[in-house]
């Protein structure tokens, strides 16, 4: 049986193909076409692993901005009462809807992003807001984003936002990353979140990058995990397959430099400021002091 | 899920971790699990401590509680019979539909490998690693034997396996002949072995300790209390330098397999002798080829099941997609034409060499 290729690597037609033959087959063909072109897989189950870091109470409602190829949104939907998803890609929204229908996930409301970011999102306020990829035309300023999304969160709600690091030597490469991410330093992000009323902030360094499938999620609030990563985990990369070495050639070189630097006294505490990007998981104060 | 788990562990800390002081909070580092393995791992760090306090393995698919329970049971059994160098299962369960197991962290670094300029493992280093790895397995089996007989898989088990294999992978004449030979060789089997299931270099930690403490073995997710003998020996040998091979792609994998079992080079001679000698010390003096064959059959079916599950849930892993491109495979047939069935076919074609070196029935 010959391989059927009906989609460009961008996903055009993926939704229609998924509706016709089932999402699994359409997804297989889509990814095989990507591999044929030398591109990585669009995503896989591992893209949702980080969601285990979240606590979602019964009846929680969520908003996902930038649903990628549906895996993380569906995973979250299965743990929530209701999930709203917004994306600037018609193909991604279509594919999410079809996957949800075929997987009997009925609590997702997926919409194509309007030209302007709304002040208030339909279905809010939410217990959780996840920002992975900002639609074209929406403001990319982190402060604007945080201020707007704060108004869409319940008191005590959680915001998860992926940010490109302006201090990273790879920041030029980050700009060619698939998707739009706000840019800031780790210190700057923390300051803005605190100003906006988020008083419990966890920061993670997703490696090798903060989009798509992150292979490692390193907590950065204490120095020990990143020191442990470079001392004990990273050396294992000498043993990875030639395919992985090719796929992450630049990242591996930089990580080797970082691993050597991490051996210097105090260096592990500094390396975290230069990672390619971050994921912040921040909890809004339970009492909105601004309303007082 | 992890915040709820933290609350549970911190509240009951003395029961889980004894006299060790409970930390104020826990931070989790996410590590990659393979897509096809179906699990993801988090290392828990406590403020002020340089090494993780424990490890959490979470299953991605819903309904995996049985797998987590099985792993916990195996770890408990190993500790009961006095096997050191394995994690202690702390607790297991399910939160929000995610099955998990919490276990202790073991010291050491994954067994390393030295590859020569020809891209093949250096013989002497390989000899030492194989000796360490197989000594550990011998101790495991000898100890488990003293605690009760492990029933051997039966002729009926082989028949079922063969039928499933033949349904999934249509066999050539050479391959059918190999399957017949396997059945004949298994007829004399009297004993089963406790099986780790993923006994590869990455799951074997080497520390500076002497004697029995030198090796620690982690990740018992795919363990079985009763399996075909020498499965772990063959898996260790088959995977020993797969990740360290120089040649990329499918050709690289096949060459590594051939260089491990069917070459005249010193490395292959060491591998064949190490397996033969360890088997002999475990009381298996014939039927190595049959056991090798059933190992390959099991791995091919295991890989197929994993890939079918991946494809159903979220898509094939990258290497499977790569093979689909290389072989122009469609959706329906992609899980049937992966790595281990090719290893089986290679072994079926070249089994005479193994017979000639004493692996025959």
Tell which residue, A83, A89, A39, A26, has the closest CA to residue A60: A83
The mean of the pLDDT values for chain B is 92
What is the reported pLDDT for A246?
65
Of B40, B52, B243, the CB nearest to A239: B243
Query: How far is residue A202's CA from residue A189's CA, in Å, rounded to a whole number?
Result: 11
What is the reported pLDDT for A6?
35
What is the reported pLDDT for A292?
41
Alpha helices in B187-265 (DSSP H): 231-239, 249-261
Arithmetic mean of pLDDT, B39-56:
95
Q: Is A200 on the interface with B (CB under 8 A)?
A: no
Q: What is the band of B126 on the pLDDT scale with cuts at 50, 70, 90?
A: very high
Of B243, B252, B324, the CB nearest to A32: B324
Using a CB-CB distance cutoff of 8 angstroms, which residues of chain B are in contact with residue A218? 29-30
Burial B76-92 (b: 16+ CB within 10 A, else e): ebbeeeebebbbbbbbb
Query: How far is residue A152's CA from residue A63's CA, in Å, rounded to a whole number?
Result: 9
Q: Is A240 on the interface with B (CB under 8 A)?
A: yes
Of B2, B27, B325, the CB nearest to A52: B2
A148/chain B closest Cα distance in angstroms: 27
Q: Is A1 on the interface with B (CB under 8 A)?
A: yes
What is the reported pLDDT for A286?
87
Q: Which of B39, B244, B331 to mutate to test the interface with A (most CBs of A within 10 A)?
A: B331
Percent of chain B with pLDDT over 70: 99
Q: What is the band of B361 on the pLDDT scale with cuts at 50, 70, 90?
A: low
What is the reported pLDDT for B60?
93
Query: How far is residue A189's CA from residue B66's CA, in Å, rounded to a whole number?
Result: 42
pLDDT in tens, B151-174: 889 889 999 999 999 999 988 888
The H or E element that residue B159 is part of is helix B155-168
- What is the count of residue pairs from A and B with beta carbons less than 8 Å apart? 153
Q: For residues A272, A278, A284 and A285, what is the CA-based torsion angle, rounded to 10 degrees?
A: 0
Query: How far is residue B296's CA from residue A135's CA, in Å, rounded to a whole number?
Result: 49
Choice between B55 and B315, residue whose per-residue pLDDT is larger: B55
A241/chain B closest Cα distance in angstroms: 4
A60/chain B closest Cα distance in angstroms: 12
Range in A64-73, A256-265, B267-276, B279-288 the model is least confident about: A256-265
Classify strands A82-87 and A108-112 as parallel, antiparallel or unpaired.
parallel
What is the reported pLDDT for A8?
36
pLDDT in tens, B288-338: 999 999 999 999 999 999 999 999 988 888 889 989 998 999 999 999 989
Burial B151-183 (b: 16+ CB within 10 A, else e): ebbeeebbeebbeebeeebebeeebeebbebbb
What is the reported pLDDT for A5?
36
Percent of chain A with pLDDT over 70: 82
The mean of the pLDDT values for chain A is 87
ipTM value = 0.91
State yes or no: pLDDT of A120 exceeds 80.
Answer: yes
Q: Is A227 on the interface with B (CB under 8 A)?
A: yes
pLDDT in tens, A7-36: 334 678 899 999 999 999 999 999 999 999
Q: What is the band of A130 on the pLDDT scale with cuts at 50, 70, 90?
A: very high
State yes or no: pLDDT of A177 exceeds 70.
Answer: no
What is the reported pLDDT for A3?
31
State yes or no: pLDDT of A235 exceeds 80.
Answer: no
Of A2, A41, A79, the CB nearest to B321: A41
Q: Do you know the residue count of chain B?
A: 361
Residue A86 β-bridge partners: A65, A111
Of B109, B317, B325, the CB nearest to A32: B325
Q: Which of A27, A35, A216 to mutate to test the interface with B (most CBs of B within 10 A)?
A: A35
Query: How far is residue B233's CA from residue B273's CA, in Å, rounded to a whole number?
Result: 12
pLDDT in tens, A79-112: 999 999 999 999 999 999 999 999 999 999 999 9
What is the reported pLDDT for B290?
95
CB contact under 8 A, A224 and B32: no
pTM for the full predicted model: 0.92
Which chain B residue's Cα is nearest to A36?
A: B325
- The position carrying tokens 């279509």 is A94
What is the reported pLDDT for A1?
32
State yes or no: pLDDT of B41 exceeds 70.
Answer: yes
Using a CB-CB distance cutoff of 8 angstroms, which residues of chain A are in contact with residue B113? 239
Alpha helices in A165-222 (DSSP H): 171-174, 186-195
């Amino acid at each position: 049986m010959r391989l059927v290729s009906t989609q460009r690597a961008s996903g055009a037609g993926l939704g229609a193909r998924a509706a016709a033959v089932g999402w699994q087959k359409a997804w297989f063909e889509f990814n095989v076409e990507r591999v044929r072109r030398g591109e990585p897989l669009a995503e896989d189950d591992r893209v949702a692993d980080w969601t285990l870091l979240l606590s979602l109470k019964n009846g929680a409602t969520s908003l996902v901005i930038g649903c990628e190829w549906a895996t993380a949104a569906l995973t979250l939907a299965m743990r929530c009462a209701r999930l709203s998803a917004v994306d600037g890609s018609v193909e991604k929204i279509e594919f999410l809807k079809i996957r949800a229908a075929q997987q009997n996930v009925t609590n997702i409301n997926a919409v194509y992003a309007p030209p302007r970011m709304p002040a208030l999102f339909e279905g809010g306020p939410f217990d959780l807001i996840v920002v992975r990829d900002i639609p074209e035309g929406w403001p990319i300023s982190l402060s604007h984003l945080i201020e707007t999304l704060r108004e869409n969160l319940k008191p005590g709600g959680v915001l998860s936002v992926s940010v490109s690091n302006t201090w990273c030597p790879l920041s030029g490469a980050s700009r060619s990353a698939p998707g739009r991410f706000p840019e800031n330093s780790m210190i700057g992000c923390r300051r803005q979140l605190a100003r906006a009323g988020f008083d419990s902030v966890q920061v993670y360094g997703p490696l090798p990058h903060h989009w798509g499938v992150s292979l490692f999620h390193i907590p950065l609030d204490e120095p020990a995990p990143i020191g442990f990563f470079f001392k004990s985990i990273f050396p294992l990369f000498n043993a990875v397959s030639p395919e992985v070495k090719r796929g992450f050639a630049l990242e591996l070189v930089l990580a080797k430099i970082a691993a050597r630097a991490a051996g210097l006294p105090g260096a592990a505490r500094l390396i975290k400021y230069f990672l390619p990007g971050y994921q912040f998981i921040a909890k809004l104060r339970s009492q909105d002091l601004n309303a007082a | 899920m992890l915040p709820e788990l933290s609350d549970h562990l911190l509240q009951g800390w003395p029961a889980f971790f004894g006299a060790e002081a409970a930390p104020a909070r826990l931070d989790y580092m996410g590590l990659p699990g393979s897509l096809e393995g179906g699990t993801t791992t988090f290392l828990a760090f406590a403020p002020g401590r340089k090494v993780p306090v424990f490890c959490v393995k979470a299953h991605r698919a819903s309904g995996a509680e049985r797998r987590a329970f099985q792993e916990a049971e195996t770890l408990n059994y190993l500790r009961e019979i006095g096997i050191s160098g394995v994690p202690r299962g702390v607790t297991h369960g399910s939160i929000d539909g995610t099955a998990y197991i919490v276990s202790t962290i073991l010291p050491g670094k994954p067994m390393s490998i030295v590859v020569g300029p020809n891209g093949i493992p250096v013989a002497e280093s390989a000899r030492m690693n194989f000796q360490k790895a197989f000594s550990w397995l011998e101790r495991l089996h000898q100890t488990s034997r003293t605690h009760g007989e492990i029933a051997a898989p039966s002729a009926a088990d082989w028949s079922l396996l063969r039928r499933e294999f033949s349904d999934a992978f249509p066999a050539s004449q050479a391959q059918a002949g190999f399957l017949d030979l396997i059945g004949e060789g298994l007829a004399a089997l009297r004993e089963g072995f406790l099986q780790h299931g993923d006994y590869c270099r990455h799951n074997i930690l080497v520390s500076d300790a002497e004697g029995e403490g030198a090796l620690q073995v982690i990740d018992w997710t795919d363990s079985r209390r009763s399996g075909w003998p020498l499965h772990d020996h063959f898996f260790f040998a088959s995977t020993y330098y797969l990740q360290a091979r120089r040649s990329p792609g499918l050709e690289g994998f096949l060459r590594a397999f051939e260089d491990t079992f069917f070459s005249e080079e010193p490395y292959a001679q060491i591998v064949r002798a190490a397996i033969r000698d360890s088997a002999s010390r475990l009381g298996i003096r014939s039927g190595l080829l049959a056991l090798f064959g059933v190992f390959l059959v099991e791995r091919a079916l295991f890989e197929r099941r994993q890939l079918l599950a991946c494809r159903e849930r979220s898509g094939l892993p990258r290497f499977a997609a790569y093979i689909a491109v290389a072989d122009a495979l469609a959706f329906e047939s992609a899980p049937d034409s992966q790595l281990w069935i090719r290893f089986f076919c290679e072994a079926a074609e070249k089994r005479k060499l193994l017979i000639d070196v004493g692996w025959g029935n």
